[in-house]
Structure 1
Amino acid sequence: MRKVAVIGAGKIGSTVVDLLVGSGSYEVLVVDQAAAALKPMEGRHRVETAAMAIDDPEAVAARLKGCFAVVNCAPYQLTTAVARAAKAAGAHYLDLTEDVASSRVVRELAADSDTAFIPQCGLAPGFITIAAWDLAKHFDELHDVRLRVGALPRYPSNALNYNLTWSTDGVINEYCEPCEAIVNGKLRETPALEEREEFALDGVTYEAFNTSGGLGTLCHTLDGKVRNLNYKTIRYPGHAQIMKALLNDLNLRNRREVLKDILENAVPATMQDVVIVFVTVSGMKGGRLMQETYVNKVYAQEIGGEVKSAIQITTAGSVCAVLDMLADGKLPQTGFIRQEDIGLSDFLANRFGRYYAPEDETALKAAAE
């Protein structure tokens, strides 16, 4: 049985713990700087807890000795500290960050590492990249690759048409930081919350707009190989306009703690959510201009006797699937590993990746005909 450290005992971290322990293959050390967050896990079989500061790489590294891997579910601001601690402890490293700057540091740490560094293992970046890369490989020549992901309330009831489903810090960060894209064959940055579009799926209208970090390493992988590549977050119509007013007109992009306080005290959380994954790829195949699409919806469900939200299931399920593949020797054991290095069929066949499989398996088939 392998020992894995999970850093951060929040919504996603606690779900990772439940999945790993429930599998019977792992024992888990849960580290969080808030002792109160660890209380629900104390005394559980095959679970050890440690309350300590996470921003001290040396202290954390000492606590991580003997761990096979570190799954970092802490806020994005702590990504580099935890990655450095994992390297010093000689453990494999996986995280969920969408923060571009932090991921660059992780890549640098992986350059001479004796263990694997696999950042961005969540939903987006993460699974969305795996699905997009799988479609892209079907083409002789790529034209356009469009990635769309949304974690939405099933029953929106406020002006934002939104409920808090995961990290408030993460939402604000992706709404504020510049976005990577390939436009007319050129790699460039685009502003967040811009280039809004509308589309319909199953009779429901959505909007999508630029947000930061969702592409992971895909921009650099496809640089020079695709005409257009972009990632946008899906919301219900009207959300982007209100967020732009808050961030720009009220200047809350420069007062993020104020915005966080407003959102967390005014916008309720919900467990009744849906995650939408929508990838479209077009290009030349066999001399014809073709398009293929992957679309999937994941809903909240019960795991281990407790209802987990769709964003908890998809994010935690994704990183657990990658960890499982690493433990089974199906991924390289050293250096930097991209999400593009993970096969979609292998991912979906994994016991944790199966949470992405819809009830109707035929929905996974690309519309290639």
Structure 2
Amino acid sequence: MKVALVGAGLIGQSIAHLLRETGDFEVVAFDRDAGALALLDAQGIGTRRVDSADATALRHALQGFDALVNALPYYLAINVASAAKAAGVHYFDLTEDVRATHAIRAIADGATHAFMPQCGLAPGFIGIVAHDLAKRLDDLRDVKMRVGALPEFPTNALKYNLTWSIDGLINEYCQPCEAIRDSRQQWVQPLEGVEHFSLDGIEYEAFNTSGGLGTLCETLAGKVEALDYKSVRYPGHRDLMKFLLDDLRMSTDRDGLKAMLKRAVPSTAQDVVLIFVTATGMRRGQLVQDVFTRKIFAKEVCGAPMSAIQITTAGAVCAELDLFREGVLPQSGFIRQEQVPLEAFLNNRFGRLYEGESVLKATRQLAAA
């Protein structure tokens, strides 16, 4: 399969590296940043300098490719998906933006090729897990999805380091969040709904952030009483971000906030990704709760050092592209994350990157309410 990888940042480089190593994918990276392309050139990966904001140039550059993987910031997703449809190639991306996903769904309407957005960690893998747990229950009560991309060794007041896209981080902290409460779909505010929990002896907090549910609200509407997604951080992070965004009104100056975070919050490759999903409901007349959790740490993959967020994000989209190539997924139209079988994902050569430490997969019997 010949794949155009649009976006040669950290995640894009990881995707290119993973796909190239299999020998089953011919990868060419598109970007306007010559420096980023030079890093891939040095690894023997094909590159092409293309301004992805120019839809016409991108459409022409896509001729002869089978699929496009979009690793650019969320605000370019609609433009890139439109170019993919015009060029007649399959489309995969990592966007967490709700508006962009709705637009891509409209683009996919009537398409002869596949359009699969939200193929990363959250949205992405987290929705695959949640849907699988939900299917195991006869009468579903609630589904809780929690994900954290965290520094392994927090040192600053935010207890946070930049591990992925700053644009994506700000977007999920500022945009309204989808949820189901009392069996009704509704919008809730970001940074609200704070809760605290402990896992493996470490204290965490979680709060509403946008985009992590993907299309799961629609899929489970009428089938679940409560469904929500929250980002996991170390205690105290949420209060400081709320001070910045609300009290100092930085939510109205995203460019200023981005510059501030880039200037003051260092990045790290020593990170950990925490995944925690629960589904509660009835099974054979008993109230049960199924739990799925993973902790994934930075490590060397295929001879290259990768952060945990690189492993989980790049690994997820590569697994889904691979499953698509194998015919496991639908071959045209809009594809939801919950159409991916969890077992097939975890058994995939890329999905096996999710075999992290501190693995727990259990079912607890609960007393009837």
Q: TM-score with structure 1 length normalisation?
A: 0.97
Provide the secondary structure at the position in 1 that maps to 2:363: coil
How does 1:286-365 map onto structure 2 within 5 Å?
A: 286-358=284-356, 363=359, 365=361
Tell me if 1:165 matches 2:138: no
Q: Distance between the aligned counterparts of 1:252 and 1:367, measured in 2?
A: 43
Match of 1:38 in 2: 37
- Give the alignment partner of residue 55 of structure 2, picking from 45, 57, 67: 57
Partner amino acid, structure 1, of 2:361:
K
Q: Distance between the aligned counterparts of 1:134 and 1:228, measured in 2?
A: 16
Q: Distance between the aligned counterparts of 1:368 and 1:308, measured in 2?
A: 35
Q: Distance between the aligned counterparts of 1:286 and 1:56, measured in 2?
A: 56
Provide the secondary structure at the position in 2 that maps to 1:268: coil
Match of 2:362 in 1: 366
**What percent of counterpart residues are identical?**
54
8 Å CA contact 2:294, 2:357 repeated in 1: no
Match of 2:19 in 1: 20
Q: Which runs of 5+ in 2 are unaligned?
A: none
Q: Distance between the aligned counterparts of 2:9 and 2:360, measured in 1?
A: 31
Partner amino acid, structure 1, of 2:110:
D
Q: Distance between the aligned counterparts of 1:323 and 1:141, measured in 2?
A: 33
Provide the secondary structure at the position in 2 that maps to 1:163: coil
- Give the alignment partner of residue 101 of structure 1, picking from 95, 99, 102: 99
Q: Distance between the aligned counterparts of 2:191 and 2:159, measured in 1?
A: 16
Q: Which runs of 5+ in 1 are unaligned?
A: none
Cα deviation code 1:337-359 (max 9, x no counterpart): 11110000000000000000235
Q: Distance between the aligned counterparts of 1:201 and 1:127, measured in 2?
A: 20
Q: Distance between the aligned counterparts of 1:131 and 1:223, measured in 2?
A: 17
Partner amino acid, structure 1, of 2:240:
I
Q: Is the deviation greater in 235-244 or in 280-289?
A: 280-289
Match of 2:212 in 1: 214
Cα deviation code 1:78-116 (max 9, x no counterpart): 000110111111111000000000000110111111111
Q: Distance between the aligned counterparts of 2:236 and 2:32, measured in 1?
A: 37
Match of 1:131 in 2: 129
8 Å CA contact 2:149, 2:163 repeated in 1: yes
User: Cα distance, 1:368 vs. partner?
Assistant: 5.0
User: Cα distance, 1:273 vs. partner?
Assistant: 0.4
Partner amino acid, structure 2, of 1:307:
P
Q: Distance between the aligned counterparts of 1:103 and 1:222, measured in 2?
A: 17
When the two structures are aligned, how many residues end up with a matched partner? 365
8 Å CA contact 1:7, 1:32 repeated in 2: yes
Partner amino acid, structure 2, of 1:4:
V
- Give the alignment partner of residue 271 of structure 1, picking from 269, 272, 284: 269
Cα deviation code 1:263-310 (max 9, x no counterpart): 111111111100000001101111111111001111101023221000
User: Cα distance, 1:67 vs. partner?
Assistant: 1.0
- Give the alignment partner of residue 256 of structure 2, picking from 255, 258, 265: 258
8 Å CA contact 1:348, 1:354 repeated in 2: yes
Match of 1:6 in 2: 5
8 Å CA contact 2:296, 2:357 repeated in 1: no
Q: Distance between the aligned counterparts of 1:182 and 1:53, measured in 2?
A: 39
Partner amino acid, structure 2, of 1:141:
D
Q: Distance between the aligned counterparts of 2:194 and 2:329, measured in 1?
A: 37
User: Cα distance, 1:36 vs. partner?
Assistant: 1.7
8 Å CA contact 1:357, 1:364 repeated in 2: no
Provide the secondary structure at the position in 1 that maps to 2:18: helix
Q: Distance between the aligned counterparts of 1:113 and 1:241, measured in 2?
A: 45
Q: Distance between the aligned counterparts of 2:192 and 2:361, measured in 1?
A: 31
Cα deviation code 1:197-239 (max 9, x no counterpart): 0000000000000000000000000111100000000000000
User: Cα distance, 1:365 vs. partner?
Assistant: 3.1
Q: Distance between the aligned counterparts of 1:183 and 1:33, measured in 2?
A: 44
Q: Distance between the aligned counterparts of 2:325 and 2:208, measured in 1?
A: 35
User: Cα distance, 1:64 vs. partner?
Assistant: 0.7
Measured on the aligned residues, the alpha-carbon RMSD in Å equals 1.1
Taking structure 1 as reference, are residues 66 and 116 closer, same or farther at Cα in structure 2, changes over 3 Å only?
A: same
Partner amino acid, structure 2, of 1:365:
K
Q: Distance between the aligned counterparts of 1:183 and 1:44, measured in 2?
A: 49
Cα deviation code 1:141-179 (max 9, x no counterpart): 110100000000010000000000000010000000000
8 Å CA contact 2:295, 2:357 repeated in 1: no
Q: Distance between the aligned counterparts of 1:206 and 1:351, measured in 2?
A: 31
